[in-house]
Amino acid sequence: MPVEITREYIDQVEEAIEQQNAEFLTSSMADMYPADITTVLYELDTAQSKYVLDLLDPEVGAEILSGLDADVRTNFLKSFTSEEVARYVNLMDSDDAVDILNEQKVQSREEIISFLDNEEKAADIIDLLHYEEDSAGGLMAKELIKVNVNWEVRQCIEEIRRQAEAVEQVYAIYVVDDRDRLIGRIAMKTLILSNDDTPISELFDEDVISIETYRKDTEVVDIMQRYDLEAIPVVDSQGKLMGRITIDDVVDVIQEQAETSIQLMSGITEDVEEDDSVLRLSRARLPWLLVAMVGGLLGAEFIQIFDSEIMLVPAMAGFIPIITATGGNVGIQSSSLIIQTLASKQIIFDNLTQRLFKVLLVALINALIISSLVMGFNLMFNDNPRLSIVVSIALFSVVMLSSLMGTITPMILDRFGINPAVAAGPFITTANDLLGLGVYFFVAHLLLHL
């Protein structure tokens, strides 16, 4: 069962490393999951982590290295020789091994491959290195179980026993023809319950979902989510079975997509983490901060245009924050829902009219409630009823327009192949601030006859 990693235990580990107490380290970590050991290693420096990893079983070490964050792993492996890295790579699934090799310099990569003692594993890794990292080919692992359609059940079971040594989890048994083209799959239960001399051609199911090697990782995620798959076979353009993608790889892609969307919606333009350098963090945050600053300057200039009107009705200035804040919040809410829908591929542009009608109906209800509450508040505490009407009408208009803008902008960007997440956060907030000010002063100009 998972263990709780306490500060006290970390201190004990550090003391044991300092005293080179290998017995304490191996015994205390013997029953720990690799993920828990990884948590401990994150609290240690590079030299300490390497000392611990060298004491562990190589298979456990390989699993730990596979689970490390890419940036942390790249720096960590700099303290290893190519031969040491190869010892762990030799025990990994081919897709995890390729991830590590892609993080190395070309010379180190070639050296690591040369030290692999499993020729079949080395060949699989070299084959996978040819694919783009964000493609189905880059995600897939070569380890899988496949049987020939012309075999009998007896031969299949023998082959499964042979291949299963290299396959950690058996999600499916794939059926191929003599040219190694994928033609179907067969359930393990079907094999077990069938007679040994039954031909596979009578048992396999032709209904199998596959994906081509050149497809983007986002397409893999979409298909596996849509059809609730634990694994999906990968084929080349001629239908030849090349590998498989498992659910754990897809979860990693989903997590990366979520992190990227959150960062973009927050106005962070690069893939950064908290422990990155100050320069990198500043560079990632600065562009949208500058956009927001420019928007603020434009807003200030916009207000100055109506400076004389504000001097005539000073109370107008007090309502500027509520106008801009409401517009920004409404825009963010609308865009977040649309981005979520776009990410799950549920949106269909054919029903655009129906979708916009629903958005406007929701905005209408919210606008009526918000403007009514502000109207009531102002009538109770403000002795200028005409200004109360101006603020309420302006708020009503801002909610409607901001909701529409927050809905349409991500859809338009998505249609042109631009990540819609960039439309959220600072962009929509800044744009709706300017929109809100424009509406507010326009309504005031009309109704107050300034």
- Work out the angle at residue 141's Cα, subtended by the Cα atoms of residues 140 and 146, and round it to the nearest 5 degrees: 110
CB 254 within 8 A of CB 217: no
Please give the span between the terminal C-alpha atoms of the chain, in angstroms, as a whole number.
72
Evaluate if residue 312 carries a pLDDT over 60. Answer: yes
Average confidence (pLDDT) over 19-24: 92
Query: Letter for the amino acid at 211?
Result: I
Average confidence (pLDDT) over 220-225: 90
Query: Residue 433: its pLDDT value, please?
Result: 82
Residues of the chain with CATH 1.10.357.20: 278-448
**How remote is the C-alpha of 366 from its chain's centroid?**
32
Query: Letter for the amino acid at 383?
Result: D
Rounded CA-CA distance 213/146 in Å is 18
> How buried is residue 205: exposed, middle or buried, by Cβ count under 10 Å (0-12/13-18/19+)?
exposed
DSSP state of 317: G
Residues of the chain with CATH 3.10.580.10: 145-252
Superfamily of domain 7-132: MgtE N-terminal domain-like (1.25.60.10)
Nearest to 368 by CA among 396, 341, 340: 396
Superfamily of domain 278-448: SLC41 divalent cation transporters, integral membrane domain (1.10.357.20)
CB 447 within 8 A of CB 434: no
Query: Residue 424: its pLDDT value, please?
Result: 63
Q: What is the pLDDT of residues 398-409, one digit of tens each?
A: 999 888 888 888
Query: Residue 343: its pLDDT value, please?
Result: 64
Which string of DSSP letters, residue by residue, matches 165-194?
A: TT-S----EEEE-TT-BEEEEE-HHHHHHS
Q: What is the pLDDT of residues 34-79, one digit of tens each?
A: 989 999 998 999 999 999 999 999 999 999 999 888 888 988 999 9
Specify the CATH class of 145-252 in words: alpha beta
Which string of DSSP letters, residue by residue, matches 387-421?
A: HHHHHHHHHHHHHHHHHHHHHHHHHHHHHTT--GG
Q: What is the pLDDT of residues 369-428, one digit of tens each?
A: 998 998 888 888 777 788 888 889 989 999 998 888 888 888 887 777 777 766 666 777
CB 374 within 8 A of CB 395: yes
CB 354 within 8 A of CB 383: no
- Count helices and strands in the chain by DSSP H and E runs: 21, 6
Residues of the chain with CATH 1.25.60.10: 7-132
Q: What global pTM score does this model have?
A: 0.68
